[in-house]
């Protein structure tokens, strides 16, 4: 079974010489680079960057001293972002040159949220997509500017190599990566790998973070449990957030996982068979799969199989709790929101950390109320997102912990 033939349409996006434009052996080596960049020790350093980016861009100018703490706002969650990556500019590391790019409606990351006035209507789903991009890009590129990806990446790579500067981010991992024959990755390959990493998690994580919020607001008992979990964590660790602290948040993890079970953004996973083989169904029916045929599986269908998930259409995060663990009922492939097997998503731990980091900040600093009808899937999108508006009221507050 192979991914290459069915996903070659991504080659123009990622560029030549990477992922689906190379043979299996080279692709496996490049996936090894991803694996190294997503090891636990790397994820630990990424969390600080995720949290910092979330705090900066959610808080912005609305700190305690502004007099806005406790002010009530109304805003909608509307997925509209597509080209933020082409229009955001951020200062580089002090040791490196600042990269300035001219583009329409140029936006600076540090100024982005200043557009929120004292009251008004903003688009939460749009903002969450920005936060996903910003937290991802900070881990991919540290504090460097990012826009017009191919040009910017090449400039940053050259700058790092010339200065000898080393950063704790995915870009540095790709720069330092070597193939088994000792060859260093090229600038073109590093750029392609970064773009692949960014696009693999951009829409999927933003969609899942929004569905997580929608379900938490619809089912207030789980919102209350998630807030109570934050209080318990804060009793042990104060306001600190790091990799290990996020790992303690089982309630939030299950809420995210259940939202993803019900609404996997990728509803069809494709492979091409490289040999003839047969498949026997649970009912005992046998199907012959000829060599060269395309095989598909649907997480949207598999995640609602009633013999695996009880009341499969219900939002029930506790189905993943110890003692139930419905995601293991039928073995390793019971839950396939991140795929599975040798081609499973390498970014799964990163995605959970990213969404946890953002929602940890939101749960600790805001009260929410869902005021619009519960959203529906947008089946017209290739990556299935949310259709229509998700209106919520929010009120700033600091989570109080009684010691």
Q: Read off the pLDDT of residues 278-302 as tens digits, 9 standing for 90 and up.
A: 999 989 999 999 999 999 999 999 9
- Higher pLDDT, residue 307 or 160: 307
Q: What is the mean pLDDT of residues 86-95?
A: 30
pLDDT of residue 12: 73
- Domain assignment present for residue 391? The answer is yes
Q: What is the mean pLDDT of residues 266-275?
A: 92
**In 3D, which of 210, 172, 194, 204 has the Cα closest to residue 85?**
194
- The residues, any chain, with a CB within 8 Å of residue 306's CB and separated by 6 or more, are 312
- Domain assignment present for residue 358? The answer is yes
Q: In this model, does residue 204 exceed pLDDT 50?
A: yes
- Domain assignment present for residue 159? The answer is yes
Residue 195: pLDDT band (50, 70, 90) is: confident
Measured over the CA atoms of residue 270, residue 263, residue 79 and residue 141, the dihedral's sign is: negative
Q: What is the mean pLDDT of residues 191-213?
A: 85
- Domain assignment present for residue 331? The answer is no
- pLDDT tens column, 120-132: 455 555 555 555 5
Residue 307: pLDDT band (50, 70, 90) is: very high
Binding residues: 345
- Domain assignment present for residue 153? The answer is yes
From residue 374, alpha-carbon distances to 205, 303, 389 in Å are 19, 20, 9
- Average pLDDT of the chain to the nearest whole number: 78
Q: What is the mean pLDDT of residues 190-203?
A: 81
**In 3D, which of 351, 270, 347, 339 has the Cα closest to residue 302?**
339
**In 3D, which of 192, 198, 75, 80 has the Cα closest to residue 135?**
198
pLDDT of residue 300: 96
- Domain assignment present for residue 336? The answer is no
Residue 217: pLDDT band (50, 70, 90) is: very high
pLDDT over 90 for what percent of the chain? 41
- Higher pLDDT, residue 398 or 112: 398
Query: DSSP secondary structure string, 202-218?
Result: HHHHHHHHHHHHHHHHH
Residue 129, both tokens? 């997509």
Residue 6, both tokens? 């069915």
Tell me the helices (H) and strands (E) count for the chain, helix number first: 12, 11
Binding residues for heme: 345
For the domain that residue 155 is a member of, what is the CATH number? 1.10.630.10
Q: What is the mean pLDDT of residues 115-143?
A: 50
The number of domains in the chain is 1
Residue 40: pLDDT band (50, 70, 90) is: confident
- Domain assignment present for residue 189? The answer is yes
- Domain assignment present for residue 30? The answer is yes
In this structure, what is the dihedral angle of CA atoms 99, 104, 109, 110, given to the nearest 10 degrees? 100
- pLDDT tens column, 143-187: 443 345 677 777 778 888 888 877 778 888 999 999 999 999 998
Q: Give the span between the Cα atoms of 234 and 59, in whole angstroms.
A: 19
Residue 243's domain spans which residues?
17-249+353-396
């Amino acid at each position: 079974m192979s991914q290459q033939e069915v996903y070659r349409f991504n080659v123009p996006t990622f560029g030549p010489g990477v992922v689906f434009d190379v043979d299996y052996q080279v692709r496996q080596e490049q996936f090894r680079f991803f694996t190294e960049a997503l090891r636990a020790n790397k994820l630990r350093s990424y969390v600080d960057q995720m949290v910092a980016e979330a705090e900066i861009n959610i808080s912005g100018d609305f700190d305690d001293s502004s007099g806005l703490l406790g002010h009530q706002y109304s805003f909608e969650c509307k997925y509209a972002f597509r080209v933020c990556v082409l229009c955001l500019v951020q200062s580089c590391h002090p040791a490196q040159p600042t990269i300035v790019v001219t583009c329409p409606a140029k936006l600076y990351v540090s100024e982005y949220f200043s557009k929120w006035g004292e009251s008004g209507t903003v688009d939460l789903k749009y903002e969450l997509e920005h936060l996903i991009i910003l937290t991802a890009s900070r881990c991919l590129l540290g504090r460097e500017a990012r826009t017009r990806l191919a040009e910017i990446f090449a400039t940053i790579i050259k700058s790092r190599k010339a200065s000898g500067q080393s950063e704790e981010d995915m870009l540095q991992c790709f720069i330092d990566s070597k193939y088994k024959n000792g060859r260093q990755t090229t600038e073109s390959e590093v750029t392609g790998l970064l773009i692949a990493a960014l696009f693999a998690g951009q829409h999927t994580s933003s969609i899942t973070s929004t569905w997580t919020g929608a379900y938490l607001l619809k089912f207030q008992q789980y919102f209350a449990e998630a807030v109570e979990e934050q209080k318990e964590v804060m009793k042990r660790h104060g306001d600190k957030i790091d990799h290990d602290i996020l790992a303690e948040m089982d309630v939030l993890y299950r809420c995210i996982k259940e939202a993803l079970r019900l609404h996997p953004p990728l509803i069809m996973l494709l492979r091409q068979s490289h040999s003839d083989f047969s498949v026997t169904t649970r009912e005992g029916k046998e199907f012959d799969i000829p060599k060269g045929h395309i095989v598909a599986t649907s997480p949207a269908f598999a995640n609602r199989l009633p013999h695996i998930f009880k009341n499969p259409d219900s939002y029930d995060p506790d189905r993943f709790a110890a003692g139930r663990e419905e995601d293991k009922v039928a073995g390793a492939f019971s839950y396939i929101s991140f795929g599975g097997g040798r081609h499973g998503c390498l970014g799964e731990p990163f995605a959970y950390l990213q969404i946890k980091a953002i929602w940890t900040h939101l749960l600790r600093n805001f009260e929410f109320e869902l005021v619009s009808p519960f959203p529906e899937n947008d089946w017209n999108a290739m990556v299935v997102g949310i259709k229509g508006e998700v209106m919520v009221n929010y009120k700033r507050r600091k989570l109080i912990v009684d010691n």
